Amino acid sequence: MKITTLKPHKGETWWLEFDDSGTPFFLHASVVHRFQLTQGQHLGADAWERVQQVELSRKAYRYACFLLDRRGYSYQEMYRKLVEKYPSEVCYGTVDRLVHVGLINDRAYAEQLAHHYVAVKHFGMRRARQEMRRRGLLDEQIDRALNPYAEQTDEMLIELIEGRYRKYFGDPSDRKMIEKGKAALVRQGYSFGEINAAVRSALDALEEEETEEEEA
């Protein structure tokens, strides 16, 4: 194939056409210079495939960096995102490059998500684990990241019952509201056993407070 047209197009993009096709191709200036492409040059099919591979890899890496500017990604999650737009081999190469330069680190990302879901959003372990799996993390990574929070479940549940969900548990005699509160806590990812124990503890404390107030 002979390059019949090679000229600057817009910004850092160059316009390229071959003699056997009227279809224009667009390459970044860095790719043109890397392969020392020139007008009138004959380019074999294998050489042109390498040029296209490098151009796609450049675009995929740039897109991945754009995504990472907005939030973190795991290895698998980034691959799934990239493969919607680029060939599989380009996606694997791009994600491996991101790992190499430290822009993707599944262990650090798992720790970040564990803190966000448990310490910030007060999810139970079950829901936190589901959300982290959805982000493409492996069970081993998830378990390691969630382990420091395992003993805080009871304390967080009490905080939720006495704080955000207090409207459900303010009246120990209102069983209907209490059941609604328990259902809300289930959606937060806590088990029935954990919820029932925490609710009993919170209601007992509330009754003691009321008794003390009456005696005073």
pLDDT tens, position by position, 142-158: 999 999 998 888 888 88
Indicate the DSSP class of residue 15: E
Measured CA to CA, the distance from residue 179 to residue 186 in angstroms comes to 11
The structure's pTM equals: 0.79
Measured CA to CA, the distance from residue 141 to residue 106 in angstroms comes to 8
Q: H or E segment at 118?
A: none
170-184 pLDDT, tens digit each: 777 888 999 999 999
10-60 pLDDT, tens digit each: 999 999 999 877 789 999 999 999 999 999 999 999 999 999 999 999 999
Measured CA to CA, the distance from residue 16 to residue 38 in angstroms comes to 10
Residue with tokens 């503890």: 201
